[in-house]
């Protein structure tokens, strides 16, 4: 598990000026061009310490970016977690109680349980459901290359393939297996859903380079759907991976067999981690791991097991 203290190149800014939007939902702003076209949602701060999305949405709002066609909605999601950020414990503000990006099923949203994240998701539900296309901006705890994550629907693959970056894609043929993310809420989680819904993981949480990637991908996403004019760059060569299994930590003793940050490969049946008496082994040759946990927290994801796609 990693214990390295990160370097802070990007820190939170005061978002209070953007609290009151025009949708009846705090921190959600919608601009209708008055012309026919797609409805695109750019969402930031699904996790409170993932600042690159905050920078990208602030770029749109600070510069009064207005859609040429269609409708643009922007949102800051888990603001409560964002406001709890403490440089001395920078990974604790990922969430208050629940992982905001695993509770977008009817069972959670219509259930009886309560938390800061559930209240916020229930408030944002109409904005997410109304969007035709969604870009949900994230970052990673370790300093790895940026990558896109999306359900394995053709409509997602087409849009992901048209973007200039990132060049790494993680395709989910059957979802995460550990909850329902925002990009699979409602109709977006079905084969015949309304449009593309992608996560972009922009790099390490607190690096300026991650914020730069977030802004660039946001503008490219909007350009793809015709909402803005921006320079078009040719897509980078692709490396695509298929999610095979998400391991959720069951014991505080969960540990990897060697130091990892993500993108390490393992041979078939090679031991990747132990979780109490359970052994986490590679299900295939060239098994590539994504998002290895920094700390063993029971109930949270420990690692994603993937295989490279041709």
Indicate which CATH number applies to the domain containing 277.
2.40.50.630
The tally of domains found in the chain comes to: 2
Last residue of a domain, one of 182, 199, 224: 224
d(CA 272, CA 293): 12
Last residue of a domain, one of 195, 224, 253: 224
Strands 133-140 and 168-172: unpaired
Residue 137 and residue 213 in one domain:
yes
Residue 270 and residue 201 in one domain:
no
Residue 128 and residue 248 in one domain:
no
In the chain, the DSSP E strands lie at 28-32, 39-44, 71-76, 133-140, 147-151, 168-172, 197-204, 239-248, 255-256, 265-266, 271-275, 278-281, 287-290, 301-309
Residue 219 and residue 247 in one domain:
no
For residue 296 the two structure tokens come to 């063993």
Residue 261 and residue 220 in one domain:
no
- Domain contains 5: no
DSSP helix/strand/coil, 279: strand
Residue 259 and residue 165 in one domain:
no
Q: Which residues of the chain have pLDDT under 70?
A: 1-4
The dihedrals phi and psi of 234, each to the nearest 5 degrees, come to -70, 140
Could you list the residue range(s) of the whole structural domain that residue 105 is in? Answer: 16-224
**pLDDT the model gives residue 231:** 72
- Domain contains 236: no
**pLDDT the model gives residue 210:** 98
Indicate which CATH number applies to the domain containing 56.
3.40.630.10
Residue 146 and residue 286 in one domain:
no
Integer-rounded Cα radius of gyration of the chain: 19
**pLDDT the model gives residue 262:** 97
Residue 276 and residue 159 in one domain:
no
- Domain contains 187: yes
- Domain contains 7: no
Question: What is the longest distance spanned by two Cα atoms in the chain?
Answer: 60
Residue 246 and residue 145 in one domain:
no
Last residue of a domain, one of 162, 189, 224: 224
- Domain contains 73: yes
**pLDDT the model gives residue 56:** 98
- Domain contains 280: yes
Residue 140 and residue 59 in one domain:
yes
- Domain contains 277: yes
CA-CA distances (angstroms) from residue 155 to 50, 99, 132, 198, 278? 27, 26, 12, 10, 37
Residue 108 and residue 250 in one domain:
no
198-211 burial code (b ≥16 CB/10 A, e <16) = bbbbbbbbbbeebb
Residue 75 and residue 176 in one domain:
yes
Residue 289 contacts residue 246 (beta carbons within 8 Å) = no
- Domain contains 1: no
């Amino acid at each position: 598990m990693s214990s390295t203290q990160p370097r802070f190149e990007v820190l939170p800014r005061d978002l209070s000026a953007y609290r009151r939007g025009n949708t009846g939902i705090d921190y959600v702003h919608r601009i209708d061009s008055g012309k026919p076209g797609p409805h695109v949602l750019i969402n930031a701060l699904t996790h409170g310490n993932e600042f690159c999305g905050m920078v990208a949405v602030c770029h749109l709002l600070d510069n009064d970016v207005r859609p040429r066609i269609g409708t643009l909605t922007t949102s800051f999601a888990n603001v409560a977690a964002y406001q709890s950020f403490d440089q001395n414990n920078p990974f604790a503000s990922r969430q208050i109680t629940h992982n905001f990006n695993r509770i977008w099923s009817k069972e959670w949203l219509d259930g009886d349980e309560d938390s800061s994240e559930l209240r916020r998701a229930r408030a944002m539900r109409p904005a997410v459901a109304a969007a035709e296309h969604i870009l949900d901006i994230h970052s990673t705890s370790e300093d790895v290359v940026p990558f896109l994550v999306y359900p394995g629907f053709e409509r997602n693959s087409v849009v992901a393939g048209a973007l200039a970056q990132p060049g790494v894609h993680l395709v989910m043929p059957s979802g995460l297996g550990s909850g329902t993310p925002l990009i699979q809420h409602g109709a977006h989680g079905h084969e015949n859903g309304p449009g593309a819904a992608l996560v972009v993981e922009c790099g390490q949480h607190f690096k300026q380079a991650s914020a730069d990637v977030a802004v660039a991908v946001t503008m490219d996403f909007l350009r793809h759907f015709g909402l803005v004019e921006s320079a078009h760059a040719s897509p980078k060569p692709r490396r695509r991976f298929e999610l095979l299994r998400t391991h959720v930590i069951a014991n505080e003793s969960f540990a990897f067999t060697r130091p990892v940050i993500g993108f390490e490969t393992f041979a078939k049946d090679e031991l990747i981690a132990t979780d109490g008496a359970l052994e986490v082994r590679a299900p295939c040759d060239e098994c590539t791991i994504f998002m290895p946990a920094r700390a063993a927290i029971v109930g949270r994801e420990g690692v994603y097991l993937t295989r490279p796609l041709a």
